Amino acid sequence: MKKPIVINVENVSFSYGSHEVLKDLNLKVYEGDYIAVIGPNGGGKTTFTKLLLGLLTPTSGEIKIFGKEVIEARQQIGYLPQYINFNMDMPVNVFDIVLQGRLTPKKLFYSHEDKQIAHTQLEKMRISHLKNRKIKELSGGQRQRVLLARALAKQPKILILDEPTASIDPEGQKDIYDLLKALPLTKIIVSHDIQVLFEGVTRVAHINKTLYLHEDIDTSIHRKDGHFCEMELLDYIKSHTCSS
């Protein structure tokens, strides 16, 4: 039996002014899917995530999340944007930042439960020991884990990540992928790093103005002497040629 559809993108196009960036996208995301979004710079990946979050509205077509309008489903989505401008002099510590994930437009105070949830997420991201540190005292990988913990503190059903490992060293990247893999959520990750394809991803969406979905990626082909091999991946993708 097919799993329930969590996100349904139907015939979606988007333009910034007269510049059409996305054209006729279709995608059904099922519960528990882990979708990697790949494609060239400027291909429209970030724009696509912003449409899913309701930060932008399709020029035509429709997106439904849990069968509802995107705006109504927003509370169910945890998001890690591509760029975050941290004010490094912020007087807040790691715990405060994670706690912010509990904020809603109506909530003025944090409850005991909010604090417990924040603690649990810090543990899950294995950064409890950093809870009193300031953001400027952390490495790139540690910062990303703080932001992930904040996104998860919202207890979302869907997690959308836009190039979460772009500024992290390879070892730190592997750690983040391992943490993500273990999260039992519906996940969409934009990444330039094809390593992600071997870290539990179920399907790959290639976006370059249009969207092409690679189903059933075969992750058994990739490791040679413990390394994944880009050439083998390219061969594999070629042999499963895009039909659109």
Ligand X SMILES: Nc1ncnc2c1ncn2[C@@H]1O[C@H](COP(=O)(O)OP(=O)(O)O)[C@@H](O)[C@H]1O
Q: Which of the ranges 10-18, 41-49, 65-73, 217-225 carries the binding residues for Mg ion, by CB under 5 A?
A: 41-49
Tell me the β-bridge partners of 19.
16
Is 21 among the residues that bind ligand X (CB under 6 A)? yes
Smallest gap from residue 44 Cβ to ligand X (A): 4
Q: How many residues does the chain have?
A: 244
Binding partner selected for residue 8 from ligand X, Mg ion, none, CB under the kind-specific 5 to 8 Å limit: none
In the bound state with ligand X, the residue whose beta carbon lies nearer, of 45 and 143, is 45
Question: Residue 75 — φ and ψ, nearest 5°?
Answer: -65, -20
Is 173 among the residues that bind Mg ion (CB under 5 A)? no
Is 44 among the residues that bind ligand X (CB under 6 A)? yes
Is 102 among the residues that bind ligand X (CB under 6 A)? no
Token couple for 96? 């405060």
Tell me the β-bridge partners of 9.
27, 63
**Residue of the chain from 25, 46, 102, 188 that contacts Mg ion (CB under 5 A):** 46
Binding mask 194-233 for ligand X (x = CB under 6 A): ----------------------------------------
Is 18 among the residues that bind ligand X (CB under 6 A)? no
Is 9 among the residues that bind ligand X (CB under 6 A)? no
Measured from the Cβ of residue 107, the count of other Cβ atoms closer than 10 Å reads 10
Smallest gap from residue 238 Cβ to Mg ion (A): 25
Is 43 among the residues that bind ligand X (CB under 6 A)? yes
**Contact in structure between 39 and 208 (CB atoms under 8 Å):** yes
Residue type, 85: N
State the Cα–Cα distance between residues 136 and 121, nearest whole angstrom.
20
Residues 63-82 contacting Mg ion, CB under 5 A: 82
Smallest gap from residue 134 Cβ to ligand X (A): 30
Token couple for 80? 């890690």
Binding partner selected for residue 220 from Mg ion, ligand X, none, CB under the kind-specific 5 to 8 Å limit: none
Is 46 among the residues that bind ligand X (CB under 6 A)? yes
In the bound state with ligand X, the residue whose beta carbon lies nearer, of 166 and 183, is 166
Q: What is the 3-state secondary structure (H, E, C) of 136-168?
A: HHCCHHHHHHHHHHHHHHCCCCEEEEECCCCCC
Q: Which residues contact 178 (CB under 8 A, 6 or more apart)?
A: 199
Token couple for 209? 């103005």
In the bound state with ligand X, the residue whose beta carbon lies nearer, of 41 and 85, is 41
Strand, coil or helix: 204: strand
Helix axes 140-153, 112-124, angle to 10 degrees: 140
In the bound state with Mg ion, the residue whose beta carbon lies nearer, of 41 and 244, is 41
Footprint of Mg ion on this chain (CB under 5 A)? 45-46, 82
Footprint of ligand X on this chain (CB under 6 A)? 16, 19, 21, 39, 41-47
